[in-house]
Amino acid sequence: MQGKVKLRYIRWGFLLLLLLSVGCIMRSSEAGEWYAHFLYPYLSGFLSRFSSLFPFSVGDCFIYGSILFLLLYPVYAFIKKQGWWLVARRMVEYLLWVYVWFYGAWGLNYFRKDFYSRLEIPRADYSAEVFRSFLTHYTDSLNAAFVSVDKVDETLIAREVKKGYREITARFALPHPADYLRPKPMLIPSLMSGTGVLGYIGPFFIEYNLNPNLLPVQYPFTYAHEMAHVLGISNEAEANLYGFLVCSRSQVPEIRFSAYFALLPYVLSNAYHLLPKEEFDTWKETLSPAVKALYNDKVTYWQELYSPLIGELQEISYNWFLKKNNIPSGRKNYSEVVGMLIALSANQD
């Protein structure tokens, strides 16, 4: 009995030490950079190598299994007539270990220096002239890149995306993607489609999960976006940026068009808020009929899969989650990729 008590104190002491370490890193962007460069590569390498042994999402199994445990354990404890204090203590301890695992395995990447500080470039102040120039260049590139994408070659996309990341790692101080990394299908894609989620990183085992319902034109960019998260990028706009840079530079027409097409919702959002209505409407007419038709088809496709109730809950919770994890703009962060592209363009050597 004394041995069990001693072991419990050791376990709690170690847990509290880890919680303290996580809290300290959260309070310093310098510590966040140390984590990203010197600790995360080894942790992610170990976890991703393990999870790559399985064709299914190990992380999804862990998450859904944890939810099931938290729901059923109180019932089991009630049947076994365990004291409520013991039940509460075990559940709290379990959640704290999950918390430490999440942040230790990947989540501390949220507390790195921001994109502009790391690259030592200034944010792009809004200029009507600069934005209109970006808009014209983007629209011309989007229209010119259009190609019908009826199916995807997943092997080719994996090779092209990893090649693209290796070409930009030096400039953006990113690690090289491991050859063994493979995307996993979501465990419950219908649930994710109901919330409009196209992909996500599995932070507990460093997996990147893609929605099997992805349209072919969305697959390359989503693959590249989630790969950025695997490489230690937590900021959604920055993941969009790297996904765009990698795919838009590909010599494969379908991959290149996927980059420009994926950026369209964010460009639309920025243009809607920054341009006068008449000018916004005029600009939309410069989009090619083929691009507009494909975009409308995409919107209709996902709306049919979307569940308003579940989707709204997911948006609220994820917006809150991002704001609590050093992303003050919340879900609006995705659209900030446009500002990053303009800033990069203005600071090219």
Cα–Cα distance measured from residue 317 to residue 297, given in angstroms and rounded to the nearest whole number: 28
**Alpha-carbon distances of 127 from 134, 201, 346, rounded to whole Å:** 11, 35, 12
- Is the same domain home to 77 and 142? no
List strands edge to edge, sheet with 184-185: 184-185, 207-210, 199-202
Tell me the one-letter amino acid at 112. Answer: R
Cα–Cα distance measured from residue 6 to residue 205, given in angstroms and rounded to the nearest whole number: 30
Instruction: Give me the pLDDT at residue 214, please.
Output: 97
**Which of 60, 77, 111 marks a domain boundary?**
111
- Is the same domain home to 32 and 124? no
Residue range 263-312, pLDDT digits in tens? 999 999 999 988 999 999 999 999 999 999 999 999 999 999 999 888 88
Indicate the Cα dihedral angle 86, 89, 95, 100, nearest 10°. Answer: -130
**Which of 87, 111, 135 marks a domain boundary?**
111
Contact assessment for residue 283 and residue 135, using Cβ atoms and an 8 Å cutoff: yes
- Is the same domain home to 122 and 95? no
Instruction: Give me the pLDDT at residue 286, please.
Output: 96
- Is the same domain home to 75 and 220? no
- Is the same domain home to 90 and 154? no
Token readout for 118 is: 């790391």
Instruction: Give me the pLDDT at residue 3, please.
Output: 65
- Is the same domain home to 92 and 130? no
**Alpha-carbon distances of 31 from 28, 103, 108, 113, rounded to whole Å:** 5, 13, 9, 9
Given the structure tokens 């792009």, which residue do they identify?
Answer: 124
**Which of 111, 142, 170 marks a domain boundary?**
111
| DSSP secondary structure, 19-35, as one string | HHHHHHHHT-HHHHHHI
Instruction: Give me the pLDDT at residue 323, please.
Output: 87
Single pTM value for the model: 0.94
> What tens-digit pLDDT sequence spans the chain (349 residues)?
566 667 888 889 999 999 999 999 999 999 999 999 999 999 999 999 999 999 999 999 999 999 999 999 999 888 888 888 888 999 999 999 999 999 999 999 999 999 999 999 998 887 888 999 999 999 999 999 999 999 999 999 999 999 999 999 999 999 999 999 999 999 999 999 998 999 999 999 999 999 999 999 999 999 999 999 999 999 999 999 999 999 999 999 999 999 999 999 999 999 998 899 999 999 999 999 999 999 999 999 999 999 988 888 888 888 888 888 888 887 777 779 999 999 998 887 5
**Angle in degrees, CA 279, 282, 286, rounded to 5:** 130
Instruction: Give me the pLDDT at residue 328, please.
Output: 84
Contact assessment for residue 334 and residue 266, using Cβ atoms and an 8 Å cutoff: yes
Cα–Cα distance measured from residue 60 to residue 68, given in angstroms and rounded to the nearest whole number: 12
Nearest in space to 75 (alpha carbons), one of 94, 58, 91, 52: 91
- Is the same domain home to 94 and 183? no
Given the structure tokens 């190990």, which residue do they identify?
Answer: 58
Residue range 136-159, pLDDT digits in tens? 999 999 999 999 999 999 999 999
- Is the same domain home to 132 and 280? yes
Residue 201: strand, helix, or coil: strand
Residue 150: domain span:
115-346
- Is the same domain home to 156 and 82? no
- Is the same domain home to 33 and 79? yes
Instruction: Give me the pLDDT at residue 318, please.
Output: 82
- Is the same domain home to 146 and 103? no
**Angle in degrees, CA 239, 245, 249, rounded to 5:** 150
Domain count, the chain: 2
Contact assessment for residue 195 and residue 224, using Cβ atoms and an 8 Å cutoff: no
**Alpha-carbon distances of 277 from 93, 163, 340, 345, rounded to whole Å:** 54, 41, 24, 26
Please provide residue 208's backbone torsions phi and psi, each rounded to the nearest 5 degrees.
Answer: -115, 120
Instruction: Give me the pLDDT at residue 133, please.
Output: 93
- Is the same domain home to 97 and 150? no
Cα–Cα distance measured from residue 176 to residue 167, given in angstroms and rounded to the nearest whole number: 9
